[in-house]
Amino acid sequence: MADSASDEQLVVLVDESDNQIGTLEKLRAHSSGGSLHRAFSVFVFDRAGRTLLQRRATTKYHSPGLWSNTCCSHPRPGEDTLAAAHRRLREELGFDCPLQKAFTFIYKAPVGNNLTEWEYDYVYLGEYDGEVKPNPAEVDSVRWVSLEELASDTRLNPSNYTEWLKISLDKVARAKPKSGSARRS
């Protein structure tokens, strides 16, 4: 554990049952094959049933410039994953909306720069039709896309997308909310 790191730079280490076993500085948790840690991924849909993708800022320490789900990150120590998901929606995209937990899964994947993501990932789904204000420190651009188009493009151009997006996409398609009930926030 990095005693001098702020809570913003720490991830919550967990076992395969999601029991907290400690904390570790974020970059160290992604180095040397990775350490299993808690994370979340948010997929927001509009009334037309499209999901909002973000292109990660080129300044990100891993997976820079790749297309990913609406937002994703790590809860801070002591922070609930749902609260963290709402916080990051506001910080990264300038909006918030109701979210529902869809599923959890564990994955381990290399993400470039000799880093590995090994996450116990909580996946949240939401609906929103409103203004999106990307934070340029986090997001280079955004676009709305149908899951069918996204699935096709991830197969044709896998190097354009984050690993966790590709891994979770089939489960998200099965858990996707019915369209037509998006909310403005």
**Cα 122 to Cα 72: distance, rounded to the nearest angstrom:** 10
Beta-carbon count within 10 A of 4 CB: 6
Check 71, 92, 117, 119 and give the catalytic one: 119
Radius of gyration of the chain, Cα coordinates, nearest whole angstrom: 16
Strand partners, 10: 25
119 is catalytic: yes
Tokens of 39: 């994370």
What is the chain's length?
Answer: 185
Apex 102 CA angle, 98 and 104, nearest 5: 125
Catalytic residues: 72, 119
